[in-house]
Every structure is written in structure tokens, then in C-alpha cells.
Amino acid sequence: MSEHSFTLDGKIIPFTPGQTIIQAAMDAGHYLPYLCYHPDMKAHGSCKVCTVKVGERFIASCTTLAQESLVVESDSAVLHEERLSLIQMLFVEGNHFCPSCEKSGNCQLQATAYDMKMMTPHYPQFFPNRPVDASHPDFLLDTNRCILCSLCVRASRDVDGKNIFGLSGRGIHTRLIVNSASGKLGDTEFSADDKAAKVCPVGAILPKRKGFAVPIGERTYDEKPISVFTAIERKEKT
């Protein structure tokens, strides 16, 4: 058993030196919401959904190392409100039509919104004009659903060694791009064996000819909320 620990919402969380707050919390069976984090890759800290409060500071739990005797706050009205606002903004900045999306029921963004009791996007919809790339024989790339988590970018670069995806632009003009001369996914070496083909938390990267193989109502987050999944289950789903 670890001799090191910190406190999360009044609970003692053991950790191994080098672990981040979210890693230790998940290993101890405590849920912290996240979208851009993946246990198999270096944390990026871009979505800020995993933000917690330490002292008077608000920090990303996926990039902050656990330290002895830290007092971490996650379950508070202020943090719930901030996270809800972040999720709502992700919905209005893209084109997310959950009832018609193949990812519905398996979507981490949707499941997180449900868990946060989101009932409305709240903000005006942007309705951006984003491309759908069906050039690849086995995969559809629909950037309407992309939340710019960069998971596919990091997976393709750091795990697959292919650098197929990238992010271009700044601020509200940031977008997902494909690193090929044509800009098309079909002109790359992207394959079903790639880690990048499996990490998208939404419906931006989808395999073709497999739509609705599992009926809506019988999918991952139809069975139980995302917050009650164990750390092992969450790792398997991502």
C-alpha cells in the first residue's frame, strides 16, 4: 500500500510518486470528469473539464502531480457550474445532433452532459460549416463532431508514429486537419489497427459499414452513467 496520500473531497487518496491527481483518483475508484485525457498518453490539459480546486487555485487534475497532504476539491457547486458551462460551449461550438449520431450512447461528451444534468445548450448555436471526409475506404471523418481534444493527434503521433492528424489555426478558428497533400484521410496510411482510430470520445472518427450494430438503448452509457464506471472500465472504453 502506498505511503503517500492526499485528500479529495474529504477522502484519503493513496498515490505513487509521479502519478497525477486524476490518475490516483481513478485508481482509487473516484470519478473525475474528463474529455481530453487518456490513461495511455501524456496528458494535454486542453479541455479543462477535469479542473479541481487546490487551495485558492483551479488546476487541471490530468496535468498536476499528486503531492503529499494536498487538499483537493472536486465536488462543489462552483466546479459543477464551470464544468457544465464548458460542456455546453462544446455542444454549441460544433454540430452535435445526438438523436441521429451513430455514437449516441457511446459518446463521452453526451454521457458527461447527462451526468452533469445538462438540459439545454444555454448558449446560441454556432452552426459552423465543417467538412465531412468520406474518402477513406474504412473510416468516416466528420469534423462537425470534433471537440479538439487532440486525442487522435497525440495517438497518431506518439503511439502510431504516423502523424496523420493535426490542429491548425488559433482560438475559435482552430480545426482538425489531415496531414496529406490533398487533406483527405483516404490519402494517408490510417488503418483500423491505429490507436488513433479508437480514442475519439465523440463521433468524429467512425468505422464504415458498422452503423447501429448495437441498438440505441443497449449501449455503454445507456446501461449506467459515466460517473459510476470503475477506472478499469473507463480505460477499456477509451
Residue 205, phi then psi, degrees to nearest 5: -120, 110
Q: What is the pLDDT of residue 236?
A: 64
| In this structure, CATH architecture of domain 4-75 | Roll (3.10)
Please report, for residues 19, 23, 112, 190, the alpha-carbon distance to residue 224 in angstroms, rounded to integers and kept in the order given: 28, 22, 12, 32
Mean pLDDT of 132-145: 98
Min mean pLDDT across 38-42, 80-84, 134-138, 203-207 is at 38-42
Q: What pTM, to 2 d.p., does this model score? A: 0.93
Buried b (16+ CB within 10 A) or exposed e, 52-89: bbbeeeebbbbbbebeeebebbbeeeebeebbbebbbe
Query: Is the separation of the CB atoms in 74 and 52 below 8 Å?
Result: yes
Per-residue pLDDT tens for 56-92? Answer: 999 999 999 999 999 999 999 999 999 999 999 999 9
Domain definitions of the chain by residue range: 4-75, 84-210
- pLDDT of 38 reads 94
Q: Which residues of 18-46 are buried (b: 16+ CB within 10 A; e: fewer)?
A: ebbbbbbbbbbebbbbbbbbbeebebbbb
